[in-house]
Every structure is written in structure tokens, then in C-alpha cells.
Amino acid sequence: MSEATMMELFDLSGEVAAVIGATGVLGGAMADALAAAGAVVAVVGRSAERGERRVRDIEASGGKAVFVAADASDRASLVAAREAITARCGPVTVLVNAAGGNRPDATLPPGSDFCRLPLEAWQGVFDLNLVGGAFLPCQVFGETMVAARRGSIINIASMAGVIPLSRVVAYSAAKAAVVNLTRFLAREWAQLGVRVNAISPGFFPAQQNRALLFRPEGGYTERGERIIGHTPMARFGEPNELGGVVVWLASHRASSFVTGQNIAVDGGFLATTI
């Protein structure tokens, strides 16, 4: 295969990618990568300040992007976002569901009692990661993709969905459900031109988990040291290291026969635990 042909495999020119959660660190890095590959990127999220900043960064690097406000847990808001993106950029052909997170009241410190975990906290984590993080966006954007018989949906799961990590039981269960939903939709839409895959990032330091991994005075926390000890590459991930896999899964030429997969980007963490 010639170099030109190889480059064409990963050329996303003509694609319109909606990245829900691109106002965050990991979602933003994936939005950057899609734009660099030629896609027009719709940065979708609730924070206009962070969203517009991401758009400016993409444009400063030569890419094309717009910000569209939306609440991923509200169907009407997502439908309005879909229509706004279509009017401004064209029909969405790539969807990245990068919204999600955990709640402090759904986290079990060492020695705590699972039987005391509040139902409200459990449901809140599922609403954030499964309902708003995959279910509703897949319904709203998947509807038009199926009608057009063309699309790539990329759900952001977690290796916590593959193995139940300590403390974050609700988050682990919700992300496991995301992986299961991904495979269900991949099977349902396989002959309708829509591929559905998931990416499971390993440990990527960000604002919400930095205190769990690093001590204020420097160095790793006890939890951070255990993670590094179980990671063959002996380091945490960098957000830009998600760029290659998201571009690959987004490309209808590079990954045309790939659907229903959960791709771990974890420095080998899962290889030492399963």
C-alpha cells in the first residue's frame, strides 16, 4: 500500500463529528484529533466557556469546529443539538460519547459498607454514564445515522467496566453497561451501515481524579503507586494518546469491518489483571 493510500485511510475530510463531552480533558483531546484528521467537529457540552475555548484551540491549529450547547441527559436538548449541528455543518456521521464521571457519594472508601450505598447516588452515576453518556445520544444521533445508513458511534467506556475497580462500584457497573449497550447496538445496526464501538481508557490524570493519584507535595499516592505497579508501561496515559484510536474507529475506510469492539488504551493494565 502506498503512503498516499495509507494516509487516505485516516482522512476524515467530509465527516461531521459530534463529540459530546469535548469540554472535558479526554473528550477535548479526541475532538482535537478528529479535527486534525479533517473532520468538522461539533464540540457539544454544557459549558459555553470551555466549549468555545476548545473551538478556538482547534481553529488555531487549522481545524474546523463549532460549539453547540446541550445536556446529554435531556433528550429534547440532544435533538436540538443534532438539528443545530446539521444546519451549521451537515449531518453527523461520527458520534463520540465522552460525557461521564463519578460522584463522591457513590464512592466506597476502604472499610465502608456496600449495603449503605445510597440508591440516589447509584442512580445518579448510571444517569451520568449510561443514560446521558450513551443511551440517549445513541438514540438521538443513531436515528439519523440509521436513516442515512452511514455512521460510526464511539462510546467512551472504562477498564472499570471490564474489571470492578475498588471504591467505584457504581461507576464500574455503569461502564460495564455501556460496553454491553455498545455490543447490542453493533449487532442491531451492523447491516444498516452504522458501526458501534467503545474505547476504554486506562488511568489518565484529570481534574476529577488527580487527587487520588498524586500527593499535594509531589509523588504518587498509595493508590497511584498500586496502579503504576500494575501497568506494564509504568506510567499514566496522556490525553493525546487517545487520538489515534478515535480517528481509526471514526474512519469508515480504516475500520470498515470493526464493530462491537471495546478497545482498551491502558498501557497494558488489563493484561496484568485478567
Instruction: Give catalytic residues, as residue numbers.
Output: 171
Q: Which amino acid is at 242?
A: L
CATH number at residue 74: 3.40.50.720
Our count of domains for the chain comes to: 1
Task: Look up residue 25 and give its amino acid.
Answer: V
Gap between the Cα atoms of 181 and 137, Å rounded: 12
DSSP tag of 37: T
Domain that holds residue 179: 3-202+237-264
Question: Mind listing the pLDDT tens digit of every residue in the chain (274 residues)?
Answer: 555 587 889 999 999 999 999 999 999 999 999 999 999 999 999 999 999 999 999 999 999 999 999 999 999 999 999 999 999 999 999 999 999 999 999 999 888 999 999 999 999 999 999 999 999 999 999 999 999 999 999 999 999 999 888 789 999 999 999 999 999 999 999 999 999 999 999 999 877 777 778 888 888 888 889 889 989 999 999 999 999 999 999 999 999 999 999 999 999 999 986 5
42 in any annotated domain: yes
Answer yes or no: are the C-beta atoms of 170 and 106 closer than 8 Å. Answer: yes
Q: What is the pLDDT of residue 274?
A: 54
Q: Which helix (H) or strand (E) holds 156?
A: strand 151-156
Report how far apart, in Å, the C-alpha atoms of 144 and of each of 89, 91, 93, 176 are: 15, 8, 9, 26
- Answer whether residue 273 is part of any domain: no
Interval 169-202: pLDDT, tens: 999 999 999 999 999 999 999 999 999 999 999 9
**274 domain residue, yes or no:** no
Domain-embedded: residue 163: yes
Q: Which helix (H) or strand (E) holds 78?
A: helix 75-89
Inside any domain, residue 150:
yes
Q: Classify 56 as helix, strand or coil.
A: helix
**Is 149 a domain residue?**
yes
- Residue 10 falls inside a structural domain: yes
270 in any annotated domain: no
